[in-house]
Amino acid sequence: MGIRRDIFYRQIGAKIAYYRTVYGMEQSQLADKIHISQSTLSRIERGKYGENISIAMLLDIAEGLEIDPSLLTTFTGLEKEMWKYSFPEMR
């Protein structure tokens, strides 16, 4: 189960970075908006924040991005298939 959590956190981080970029925000802007440090946001986006990212923080990030929180934690079949190619141990 450990690798799946790792992938899950990386995918959430990638989605945060994607939506932040789409909306033209720098990491520092989003971090300031949701009252966390830029280094914390950077770790979250890289999936390196660990297993202690809270639902409250995800809700704050979604609110800061003005998106539905489910966009950060819902994955398409294609995204799940990509995990298998990126992480052979999941096959």
Q: Say what the pLDDT of residue 10 is.
A: 87
Total of domains in the chain: 1
CATH number for the domain that contains residue 72: 1.10.260.40
User: C-alpha 69: how far from its chain's center?
Assistant: 11
Q: Decide if 12 contacts 47 (C-beta within 8 A).
A: yes
Q: Say what the pLDDT of residue 1 is.
A: 42
Q: Say what the pLDDT of residue 86 is.
A: 64
pLDDT per residue rounded down to tens, the chain (91 residues) = 455 788 888 889 999 999 999 999 999 999 999 999 999 999 999 988 876 788 999 999 999 999 999 999 898 888 777 767 665 555 5
Angle at which helices 2-22 and 77-86 pack, to 10 degrees?
120
Range of the domain at 13: 2-90
